[in-house]
Structure 1
Protein backbone atom coordinates (compact mmCIF):
# COMPACT_ATOMS: atom_id res chain seq x y z
CA UNK A 1 0.00 0.00 0.00
CA UNK A 2 2.83 2.39 0.86
CA UNK A 3 4.37 1.76 -2.56
CA UNK A 4 1.06 2.59 -4.25
CA UNK A 5 0.74 5.82 -2.26
CA UNK A 6 4.30 6.82 -3.18
CA UNK A 7 3.63 5.90 -6.80
CA UNK A 8 0.39 7.93 -6.82
CA UNK A 9 2.13 11.00 -5.36
CA UNK A 10 4.89 10.71 -7.97
CA UNK A 11 2.38 10.39 -10.81
CA UNK A 12 0.31 13.33 -9.58
CA UNK A 13 3.40 15.53 -9.21
CA UNK A 14 4.58 14.59 -12.68
CA UNK A 15 1.21 15.24 -14.32
CA UNK A 16 0.69 18.49 -12.43
CA UNK A 17 4.08 19.78 -13.52
CA UNK A 18 3.76 18.78 -17.17
CA UNK A 19 0.12 19.82 -17.66
CA UNK A 20 0.57 22.89 -15.45
CA UNK A 21 -3.08 24.09 -15.20
CA UNK A 22 -2.09 27.54 -13.91
CA UNK A 23 0.33 28.26 -16.74
CA UNK A 24 -1.92 26.75 -19.43
CA UNK A 25 -4.77 28.81 -18.05
CA UNK A 26 -3.16 31.95 -19.50
CA UNK A 27 -3.11 30.26 -22.93
CA UNK A 28 -6.78 29.37 -22.55
CA UNK A 29 -7.62 32.96 -21.62
CA UNK A 30 -5.78 34.38 -24.63
CA UNK A 31 -7.34 31.89 -27.08
CA UNK A 32 -10.88 32.47 -25.84
CA UNK A 33 -10.63 36.22 -25.41
CA UNK A 34 -13.81 37.95 -26.54
CA UNK A 35 -15.90 34.76 -26.54
CA UNK A 36 -19.03 34.48 -24.44
CA UNK A 37 -19.12 32.31 -21.31
CA UNK A 38 -21.10 29.50 -22.91
CA UNK A 39 -18.58 29.06 -25.74
CA UNK A 40 -15.69 29.20 -23.25
CA UNK A 41 -17.28 26.50 -21.10
CA UNK A 42 -17.87 24.31 -24.14
CA UNK A 43 -14.25 24.64 -25.34
CA UNK A 44 -13.00 24.01 -21.81
CA UNK A 45 -15.07 20.86 -21.36
CA UNK A 46 -14.36 19.35 -24.77
CA UNK A 47 -10.63 20.05 -24.70
CA UNK A 48 -10.20 18.31 -21.35
CA UNK A 49 -12.32 15.32 -22.36
CA UNK A 50 -10.38 14.89 -25.62
CA UNK A 51 -7.04 15.22 -23.79
CA UNK A 52 -8.11 12.58 -21.28
CA UNK A 53 -9.13 10.17 -24.06
CA UNK A 54 -5.83 10.67 -25.90
CA UNK A 55 -3.69 10.03 -22.82
CA UNK A 56 -5.82 7.04 -21.78
CA UNK A 57 -5.38 5.44 -25.21
CA UNK A 58 -1.61 5.80 -25.02
CA UNK A 59 -1.54 4.49 -21.45
CA UNK A 60 -3.57 1.39 -22.34
CA UNK A 61 -1.91 0.72 -25.68
CA UNK A 62 1.60 1.85 -24.78
CA UNK A 63 2.89 -1.71 -24.45
CA UNK A 64 1.59 -2.63 -27.92
CA UNK A 65 3.02 0.57 -29.38
CA UNK A 66 6.41 -0.41 -27.97
CA UNK A 67 6.13 -3.87 -29.54
CA UNK A 68 4.86 -2.55 -32.87
CA UNK A 69 7.78 -0.17 -33.36
CA UNK A 70 10.27 -2.36 -31.48
CA UNK A 71 10.88 0.32 -28.85
CA UNK A 72 12.87 -0.72 -25.79
CA UNK A 73 12.05 0.65 -22.34
CA UNK A 74 15.57 2.11 -21.82
CA UNK A 75 15.50 3.87 -25.21
CA UNK A 76 12.05 5.27 -24.44
CA UNK A 77 13.06 6.52 -21.00
CA UNK A 78 16.23 8.19 -22.28
CA UNK A 79 14.59 9.82 -25.31
CA UNK A 80 11.47 10.79 -23.38
CA UNK A 81 13.57 12.15 -20.53
CA UNK A 82 15.55 14.36 -22.90
CA UNK A 83 12.30 15.68 -24.42
CA UNK A 84 10.76 16.41 -21.02
CA UNK A 85 13.98 18.05 -19.78
CA UNK A 86 14.00 20.29 -22.86
CA UNK A 87 10.42 21.43 -22.16
CA UNK A 88 11.24 22.16 -18.51
CA UNK A 89 14.44 24.00 -19.42
CA UNK A 90 12.57 26.31 -21.78
CA UNK A 91 9.97 27.00 -19.09
CA UNK A 92 12.77 27.98 -16.69
CA UNK A 93 13.97 30.48 -19.29
CA UNK A 94 10.44 31.90 -19.54
CA UNK A 95 10.17 30.64 -23.10
CA UNK A 96 7.12 28.94 -24.53
CA UNK A 97 8.18 25.44 -25.49
CA UNK A 98 8.48 24.85 -29.24
CA UNK A 99 6.54 21.65 -28.59
CA UNK A 100 3.58 23.81 -27.64
CA UNK A 101 4.22 26.84 -29.80
CA UNK A 102 1.26 28.53 -31.41
CA UNK A 103 2.43 30.68 -34.26
CA UNK A 104 -1.11 31.40 -35.39
CA UNK A 105 -4.50 30.23 -34.25
CA UNK A 106 -7.66 30.51 -36.27
CA UNK A 107 -10.42 30.96 -33.70
CA UNK A 108 -12.94 30.01 -36.36
CA UNK A 109 -11.63 26.44 -36.18
CA UNK A 110 -12.38 24.10 -33.32
CA UNK A 111 -9.69 25.19 -30.86
CA UNK A 112 -11.00 22.67 -28.34
CA UNK A 113 -9.26 19.98 -30.40
CA UNK A 114 -6.28 21.98 -31.60
CA UNK A 115 -4.42 23.64 -30.03
CA UNK A 116 -6.09 23.16 -26.62
CA UNK A 117 -6.37 19.36 -26.45
CA UNK A 118 -3.40 18.80 -28.76
CA UNK A 119 -0.70 19.83 -28.03
CA UNK A 120 -1.36 22.00 -24.95
CA UNK A 121 -3.13 19.51 -22.65
CA UNK A 122 -2.07 16.24 -24.26
CA UNK A 123 1.16 17.10 -25.99
CA UNK A 124 4.25 14.93 -26.44
CA UNK A 125 5.51 15.72 -22.94
CA UNK A 126 2.26 14.61 -21.31
CA UNK A 127 2.05 11.44 -23.39
CA UNK A 128 5.69 10.54 -22.75
CA UNK A 129 5.23 11.14 -19.02
CA UNK A 130 2.10 8.95 -18.90
CA UNK A 131 3.70 6.12 -20.87
CA UNK A 132 6.80 6.29 -18.69
CA UNK A 133 4.68 5.78 -15.57
CA UNK A 134 3.08 2.63 -16.98
CA UNK A 135 6.17 1.01 -18.46
CA UNK A 136 6.79 -2.31 -16.70
CA UNK A 137 4.15 -1.90 -13.96
CA UNK A 138 1.17 -3.88 -12.67
CA UNK A 139 -2.41 -3.46 -13.94
CA UNK A 140 -3.54 -1.63 -10.78
CA UNK A 141 -0.85 1.01 -11.34
CA UNK A 142 -1.94 1.49 -14.95
CA UNK A 143 -5.50 2.26 -13.88
CA UNK A 144 -4.16 4.44 -11.06
CA UNK A 145 -2.31 6.53 -13.66
CA UNK A 146 -5.51 6.87 -15.71
CA UNK A 147 -7.47 7.86 -12.61
CA UNK A 148 -4.92 10.47 -11.57
CA UNK A 149 -4.85 12.00 -15.05
CA UNK A 150 -8.65 12.03 -14.97
CA UNK A 151 -8.43 13.97 -11.71
CA UNK A 152 -5.92 16.34 -13.34
CA UNK A 153 -8.35 16.87 -16.23
CA UNK A 154 -11.08 17.84 -13.75
CA UNK A 155 -8.68 20.13 -11.92
CA UNK A 156 -7.67 21.74 -15.22
CA UNK A 157 -11.32 22.18 -16.18
CA UNK A 158 -12.09 23.95 -12.89
CA UNK A 159 -8.97 26.11 -13.22
CA UNK A 160 -9.89 27.17 -16.75
CA UNK A 161 -13.47 27.87 -15.67
CA UNK A 162 -12.21 30.25 -12.99
CA UNK A 163 -9.46 31.62 -15.23
CA UNK A 164 -10.67 35.21 -15.51
CA UNK A 165 -11.02 35.50 -11.74
CA UNK A 166 -7.66 33.83 -11.00
CA UNK A 167 -5.72 36.06 -13.42
CA UNK A 168 -7.22 39.17 -11.83
CA UNK A 169 -6.58 37.84 -8.31
CA UNK A 170 -2.95 36.65 -8.48
CA UNK A 171 -1.63 38.59 -11.48
CA UNK A 172 0.60 37.50 -14.34
CA UNK A 173 3.83 37.76 -12.30
CA UNK A 174 2.76 35.10 -9.82
CA UNK A 175 1.64 32.83 -12.67
CA UNK A 176 5.07 33.30 -14.29
CA UNK A 177 6.82 32.26 -11.05
CA UNK A 178 4.62 29.16 -10.80
CA UNK A 179 5.52 28.33 -14.39
CA UNK A 180 9.24 28.47 -13.53
CA UNK A 181 8.77 26.18 -10.54
CA UNK A 182 6.87 23.71 -12.71
CA UNK A 183 9.64 23.96 -15.30
CA UNK A 184 12.22 22.98 -12.68
CA UNK A 185 10.15 19.98 -11.59
CA UNK A 186 9.69 18.89 -15.22
CA UNK A 187 13.44 19.16 -15.87
CA UNK A 188 14.15 17.03 -12.78
CA UNK A 189 11.64 14.40 -13.90
CA UNK A 190 13.27 14.30 -17.34
CA UNK A 191 16.73 13.90 -15.81
CA UNK A 192 15.44 11.08 -13.63
CA UNK A 193 14.04 9.28 -16.66
CA UNK A 194 17.40 9.52 -18.46
CA UNK A 195 19.28 8.19 -15.42
CA UNK A 196 16.82 5.29 -15.05
CA UNK A 197 17.13 4.46 -18.76
CA UNK A 198 20.94 4.38 -18.54
CA UNK A 199 20.84 2.18 -15.43
CA UNK A 200 18.49 -0.29 -17.14
CA UNK A 201 20.67 -0.32 -20.26
CA UNK A 202 23.72 -1.38 -18.25
CA UNK A 203 21.77 -3.76 -15.97
CA UNK A 204 22.45 -1.58 -12.95
CA UNK A 205 18.81 -2.03 -11.90
CA UNK A 206 16.08 -4.45 -12.85
CA UNK A 207 13.99 -3.17 -15.83
Structure 2
Protein backbone atom coordinates (compact mmCIF):
# COMPACT_ATOMS: atom_id res chain seq x y z
CA UNK A 1 0.00 0.00 0.00
CA UNK A 2 2.85 2.36 0.92
CA UNK A 3 4.59 1.50 -2.36
CA UNK A 4 1.42 2.30 -4.31
CA UNK A 5 1.09 5.63 -2.53
CA UNK A 6 4.77 6.36 -3.26
CA UNK A 7 4.24 5.63 -6.98
CA UNK A 8 1.16 7.84 -7.07
CA UNK A 9 3.13 10.57 -5.34
CA UNK A 10 5.92 10.23 -7.90
CA UNK A 11 3.43 10.40 -10.77
CA UNK A 12 1.88 13.57 -9.34
CA UNK A 13 5.32 15.13 -8.81
CA UNK A 14 6.41 14.30 -12.36
CA UNK A 15 3.19 15.62 -13.87
CA UNK A 16 3.33 18.85 -11.85
CA UNK A 17 6.98 19.30 -12.78
CA UNK A 18 6.25 18.96 -16.48
CA UNK A 19 3.09 21.04 -16.21
CA UNK A 20 4.96 23.84 -14.49
CA UNK A 21 7.89 23.93 -16.88
CA UNK A 22 5.84 23.42 -20.06
CA UNK A 23 3.19 25.86 -18.78
CA UNK A 24 0.52 24.95 -21.36
CA UNK A 25 -1.91 27.79 -20.61
CA UNK A 26 0.47 30.69 -21.40
CA UNK A 27 1.87 28.64 -24.29
CA UNK A 28 -1.67 28.42 -25.62
CA UNK A 29 -1.70 32.21 -25.86
CA UNK A 30 1.60 32.04 -27.78
CA UNK A 31 0.15 29.37 -30.08
CA UNK A 32 -2.91 31.50 -30.71
CA UNK A 33 -0.70 34.43 -31.66
CA UNK A 34 1.55 32.42 -33.98
CA UNK A 35 -1.38 30.76 -35.75
CA UNK A 36 -3.76 33.74 -35.90
CA UNK A 37 -3.52 33.93 -39.72
CA UNK A 38 -4.11 30.20 -40.35
CA UNK A 39 -7.37 28.32 -40.87
CA UNK A 40 -8.79 25.64 -38.58
CA UNK A 41 -7.30 22.69 -40.49
CA UNK A 42 -3.81 24.21 -40.46
CA UNK A 43 -4.04 24.99 -36.73
CA UNK A 44 -4.99 21.36 -36.12
CA UNK A 45 -1.97 20.17 -38.14
CA UNK A 46 0.41 22.50 -36.31
CA UNK A 47 -0.98 21.47 -32.91
CA UNK A 48 -0.70 17.76 -33.72
CA UNK A 49 2.80 17.97 -35.22
CA UNK A 50 4.27 20.18 -32.50
CA UNK A 51 2.98 18.06 -29.61
CA UNK A 52 4.14 14.81 -31.28
CA UNK A 53 7.63 16.23 -31.89
CA UNK A 54 7.84 17.43 -28.29
CA UNK A 55 6.74 13.98 -27.05
CA UNK A 56 9.37 12.31 -29.24
CA UNK A 57 12.13 14.50 -27.81
CA UNK A 58 11.08 13.71 -24.24
CA UNK A 59 10.92 9.97 -24.99
CA UNK A 60 14.41 10.08 -26.53
CA UNK A 61 16.02 11.78 -23.54
CA UNK A 62 14.00 9.74 -21.02
CA UNK A 63 15.20 6.45 -22.53
CA UNK A 64 18.66 7.31 -23.86
CA UNK A 65 19.66 10.44 -21.97
CA UNK A 66 21.26 8.53 -19.09
CA UNK A 67 23.22 6.29 -21.48
CA UNK A 68 24.31 9.32 -23.47
CA UNK A 69 25.54 11.06 -20.34
CA UNK A 70 27.30 7.86 -19.19
CA UNK A 71 29.09 7.74 -22.55
CA UNK A 72 30.21 11.33 -22.00
CA UNK A 73 31.31 10.56 -18.44
CA UNK A 74 28.65 12.72 -16.78
CA UNK A 75 27.37 11.45 -13.41
CA UNK A 76 23.77 11.39 -12.21
CA UNK A 77 24.46 13.80 -9.31
CA UNK A 78 25.98 16.27 -11.79
CA UNK A 79 22.86 15.91 -13.96
CA UNK A 80 20.58 16.52 -11.00
CA UNK A 81 22.54 19.55 -9.80
CA UNK A 82 22.64 21.08 -13.29
CA UNK A 83 19.01 20.21 -13.95
CA UNK A 84 18.01 21.68 -10.60
CA UNK A 85 19.80 24.94 -11.40
CA UNK A 86 18.21 25.14 -14.86
CA UNK A 87 14.72 24.40 -13.54
CA UNK A 88 15.16 26.92 -10.71
CA UNK A 89 16.28 29.63 -13.16
CA UNK A 90 13.25 29.03 -15.38
CA UNK A 91 10.96 29.14 -12.34
CA UNK A 92 12.60 32.32 -11.06
CA UNK A 93 12.19 34.00 -14.45
CA UNK A 94 8.51 33.06 -14.46
CA UNK A 95 8.07 34.47 -10.95
CA UNK A 96 9.60 37.72 -12.18
CA UNK A 97 7.14 37.82 -15.08
CA UNK A 98 9.76 37.02 -17.73
CA UNK A 99 9.32 34.54 -20.58
CA UNK A 100 10.97 31.20 -19.96
CA UNK A 101 11.36 30.52 -23.70
CA UNK A 102 12.62 32.34 -26.71
CA UNK A 103 9.33 32.97 -28.47
CA UNK A 104 10.40 33.75 -32.00
CA UNK A 105 7.99 34.69 -34.71
CA UNK A 106 7.82 32.56 -37.83
CA UNK A 107 10.17 33.85 -40.54
CA UNK A 108 8.30 32.09 -43.31
CA UNK A 109 11.15 29.64 -44.04
CA UNK A 110 10.51 27.15 -41.27
CA UNK A 111 7.52 25.13 -40.11
CA UNK A 112 6.38 26.82 -36.90
CA UNK A 113 5.16 23.44 -35.62
CA UNK A 114 8.83 22.45 -35.38
CA UNK A 115 10.29 25.80 -34.38
CA UNK A 116 9.47 27.72 -32.30
CA UNK A 117 6.41 25.78 -31.03
CA UNK A 118 7.83 22.26 -30.49
CA UNK A 119 11.35 23.52 -29.75
CA UNK A 120 11.94 25.54 -27.65
CA UNK A 121 8.40 26.48 -26.50
CA UNK A 122 7.20 22.97 -25.59
CA UNK A 123 10.61 21.35 -25.10
CA UNK A 124 13.50 23.47 -23.91
CA UNK A 125 16.60 22.70 -21.82
CA UNK A 126 14.58 22.74 -18.61
CA UNK A 127 12.09 20.17 -19.93
CA UNK A 128 14.89 17.90 -21.13
CA UNK A 129 16.72 18.14 -17.80
CA UNK A 130 13.47 17.44 -15.94
CA UNK A 131 12.73 14.37 -18.09
CA UNK A 132 16.22 12.97 -17.61
CA UNK A 133 16.20 13.56 -13.86
CA UNK A 134 12.80 11.94 -13.30
CA UNK A 135 13.47 9.00 -15.64
CA UNK A 136 16.86 8.26 -14.05
CA UNK A 137 15.49 8.30 -10.50
CA UNK A 138 13.89 4.82 -10.56
CA UNK A 139 15.37 3.01 -13.55
CA UNK A 140 12.94 1.62 -16.12
CA UNK A 141 9.92 2.40 -13.90
CA UNK A 142 11.02 6.02 -13.71
CA UNK A 143 11.27 6.19 -17.50
CA UNK A 144 7.78 4.70 -17.91
CA UNK A 145 6.27 7.12 -15.40
CA UNK A 146 8.06 10.09 -16.98
CA UNK A 147 6.94 9.23 -20.52
CA UNK A 148 3.35 8.47 -19.47
CA UNK A 149 2.99 11.73 -17.53
CA UNK A 150 4.40 13.77 -20.41
CA UNK A 151 2.03 11.95 -22.79
CA UNK A 152 -0.88 13.02 -20.58
CA UNK A 153 0.40 16.58 -20.56
CA UNK A 154 0.86 16.42 -24.34
CA UNK A 155 -2.81 15.55 -24.80
CA UNK A 156 -3.86 18.41 -22.53
CA UNK A 157 -1.60 20.79 -24.47
CA UNK A 158 -2.98 19.55 -27.80
CA UNK A 159 -6.58 20.28 -26.79
CA UNK A 160 -5.56 23.65 -25.35
CA UNK A 161 -3.99 24.47 -28.72
CA UNK A 162 -7.06 23.33 -30.66
CA UNK A 163 -9.31 25.56 -28.57
CA UNK A 164 -6.64 28.23 -28.09
CA UNK A 165 -8.84 31.21 -28.97
CA UNK A 166 -11.48 30.18 -26.46
CA UNK A 167 -8.93 29.38 -23.72
CA UNK A 168 -7.24 32.78 -24.06
CA UNK A 169 -10.64 34.50 -23.97
CA UNK A 170 -11.67 32.67 -20.77
CA UNK A 171 -8.37 33.04 -18.87
CA UNK A 172 -7.66 36.67 -19.76
CA UNK A 173 -4.43 38.59 -19.24
CA UNK A 174 -4.51 38.65 -15.43
CA UNK A 175 -5.32 34.94 -15.26
CA UNK A 176 -2.33 34.12 -17.47
CA UNK A 177 -0.05 36.17 -15.23
CA UNK A 178 -1.27 34.46 -12.05
CA UNK A 179 -0.91 30.98 -13.54
CA UNK A 180 2.57 31.75 -14.86
CA UNK A 181 3.77 32.95 -11.45
CA UNK A 182 2.21 29.96 -9.67
CA UNK A 183 3.93 27.56 -12.07
CA UNK A 184 7.15 29.51 -11.52
CA UNK A 185 6.94 28.94 -7.78
CA UNK A 186 6.38 25.20 -8.24
CA UNK A 187 9.32 25.03 -10.66
CA UNK A 188 11.62 26.91 -8.29
CA UNK A 189 10.78 24.47 -5.47
CA UNK A 190 11.34 21.43 -7.72
CA UNK A 191 14.65 22.92 -8.87
CA UNK A 192 15.84 23.38 -5.28
CA UNK A 193 14.76 19.81 -4.45
CA UNK A 194 16.75 18.42 -7.39
CA UNK A 195 19.74 20.52 -6.35
CA UNK A 196 19.55 19.24 -2.76
CA UNK A 197 19.28 15.62 -3.98
CA UNK A 198 22.31 16.05 -6.23
CA UNK A 199 24.45 17.66 -3.52
CA UNK A 200 23.41 14.97 -1.02
CA UNK A 201 24.53 12.25 -3.43
CA UNK A 202 27.89 13.98 -3.98
CA UNK A 203 28.43 14.27 -0.21
CA UNK A 204 27.42 10.63 0.31
CA UNK A 205 29.80 9.46 -2.41
CA UNK A 206 32.63 11.53 -0.92
CA UNK A 207 31.97 10.12 2.56
CA UNK A 208 32.08 6.52 1.33
CA UNK A 209 35.45 6.96 -0.40
State the partner residue of 1:201.
202
Q: TM-score, normalised by structure 2?
A: 0.93
State the 4+ residue runs in structure 1 displaced beyond 4 angstroms: none
Q: Which residue of 1 aligns with 2:35?
A: 32
**CA–CA distance in structure 2, aligned partners of residues 107 and 2 of structure 1:** 49
Q: What do the CA deviations read for 1:59-114 (whole angstroms, capped 9, x no partner)?
A: 000221121111111111111111111111111111112xx213543145201011
Could you tell me how far apart the structure 1 residues matched to 2:39 and 2:109 are? 14
Aligned length: 204
Equivalent residue for 2:153? 152
1:48 corresponds in structure 2 to 51
Give the corresponding residue for 2:78: 75
Matched, 1:180 2:184: no
CA deviation after TM superposition for structure 1 residue 22, in Å: 0.3
Deviation at 1:141, TM superposition (A): 2.6
Q: Residues of 1 paired with 2:181 and 2:66: CA distance? A: 33
Paired residue for 2:15?
12
Structure 1 contact 134–142 (Cα < 8 Å) conserved: yes
For structure 1, list consecutive stretches of 5 or more residues without a partner in the other structure.
Answer: none
Contact 1:18 1:126 in 2 (8 A): yes
Residue 5 of structure 2 aligns with which residue?
2
Query: 1: CA distance between counterparts of 2:30 and 2:13?
Result: 26
How does 1:26-175 map onto structure 2 within 5 Å?
26-97=29-100, 100-175=101-176
Post-superposition offset of 1:170: 2.2
Which sections of structure 2, spanning at least 5 residues, go unmatched?
A: none
Q: By percentage of residues, which structure has more helix?
A: 2
- TM-score, normalised to structure 1, is 0.93
CA displacement at 1:172 relative to structure 2: 1.4
8 Å contact kept, 2:51–2:158:
yes
Aligned counterparts of 1:103 and 1:34: Cα–Cα separation in 2: 16
